[in-house]
Structure formats: C-alpha cells, structure tokens
Amino acid sequence: MPGIRLDIVTAERMVYSDDVDMVVAPGSEGQLGILPHHTPLMTALLPGELRIKRGGEELLLAITGGFLEVRPDKVVILADAAERAEEIDVSRAEAARKRAQERLTQQRELGIDGARAEASLRRSLARLKVAEMARRRKARR
Ligand code: ATP
C-alpha cells in the first residue's frame, strides 16, 4: 500500500493526486526525497525533474518551480507549471530554449540583466531534460 498522499496543483489544473511511496523533488536547497512520515516542512522548488515512485514504477514530471509542503496527512506541491514527461512538447521547449538563449546573448551585449531570459531558459532546459530522460527510459525497455 503506497504510504503518502501527493497532490500536485498549478493555478490551471490538478496535475496529480494519488497515494505514492516516495517523491523526489528539486528543492531550493538540493534534491529532496520525501518518504512516509517525513517531518512537516515547506520549501521552494527550482525548475527540474520530479520523480514519483509508486508500486515499483517511477513517474517523471518536469516542474518549473513552486513550493512543496509536507503536512502531517499529505504532501502538497504548488507548482508554477508541471507536466508529465509524455505531455511535454519537445519542439515548443526547444523553441523556448533557443529564444531565451538568443535574448541572453543580446542582453549581455547591451549590458542588461537577463533574469527573465535566464528563468525561461531554466524552464525549457528542465522540460528538455525530462523529455530526454523519458525517451531513454522507453528505449531501454
Ligand atoms: P513558452 O515560452 O513555450 O510558453 P514557458 O516556459 O514560458 O514556455 P510556462 O509559463 O512555464 O511556459 O507555462 C505555460 C503553460 O504552458 C503551462 O500550462 C505549461 O504546463 C505549458 N507548457 C509550457 N511549455 C510546455 C511544453 N514544452 N510542453 C507542454 N506544456 C508546456
């Protein structure tokens, strides 16, 4: 019986809601593994990959940031955006990556701080990484 209720929500939708064995998230202080009976905590999340272990299977998602809260009864992830690996549109993420990199080059030339382009780049790289991890995993099967 999986031991933790996990809810992943964004402003747009409920991305995931089920009982799981473990969740590994990109915490702002490093990778964070949450098992049942973890002490309550609240942490910010960075763009990266989110792994959900459930009954011997591992589900991969891309997350672009947000917050994770461990409550006594469940784990809640309030995500800026989150997509399951199979939902990721690789060409869209690739286009976003290219656009962000071009903006960063232009901004650096003009001496402008490219924080927004940096953030966009990190989101696109998280999506591309997760899509690639899922592709490799599928090829191994
Ligand atoms: P883009 O510039 O392509 O819009 P973005 O990083 O600015 O990318 P977000 O603001 O993070 O996009 O997300 C907006 C919405 O679009 C969210 O619902 C997110 O899940 C979805 N989304 C963004 N990029 C992708 C993608 N490559 N594949 C699937 N869904 C995506």
Q: How far apart are CA 136 and CA 114, in angstroms?
A: 32
* CATH level 3 topology of 4-84: ATP Synthase; domain 1 (2.60.15)
Single out the residue of 90, 70, 85, 84 nearest to residue 13, CA to CA: 84
Ligand 1, atom nearest to 99 Cα: 2
Nearest CA to ligand 1 atom 21: 81
Q: Give yes or no for a contact between 27 and 42, defined as CB atoms under 8 angstroms apart.
A: no
Q: Whose CA is nearest to atom 5 of ligand 1?
A: 120
Mean pLDDT for each consecutive 10-residue tract of the chain (141 residues)? 90 97 97 95 98 96 98 96 98 98 92 92 98 94 80
Separation CA 54–CA 71 (nearest Å): 19
* CA-based nearest residue to 36, from 78, 70, 60: 70
Report yes or no on whether pTM surpasses 0.85. Answer: yes
Which atom from ligand 1 is nearest to the alpha carbon of 120? Answer: 6
The DSSP annotation for 31-82 comes to EEEE-TTPPPEEEEE-SEEEEEEETTEEEEEEE-SEEEEE-SSEEEEEES-E
Would you kindly state where each structural domain of the chain is located, as residue ranges?
4-84, 89-140
Q: What pLDDT, on a 0 to 100 scale, did the predictor assign at position 1?
A: 58
Per-residue pLDDT, 2: 67
Task: Note the CATH number of domain 89-140.
Answer: 1.20.5.440
Checking DSSP bridges between strand 41-45 and strand 66-70, what pairing results, if any?
antiparallel
123 Cβ inside 6 Å of ligand 1: yes
Cβ contact 41:29 at 8 Å: no
* Spacing, Cα 129 to ligand 1 middle (Å): 14
Q: What is the residue with the minimal CA distance to atom 11 of ligand 1?
A: 81
Enclosing H/E stretch for 116? helix 115-140
Residues contacting residue 137 through CB under 8 Å, at least 6 positions apart: 60
Task: List the one residue out of 63, 122, 79 whose CA is nearest residue 97.
Answer: 122
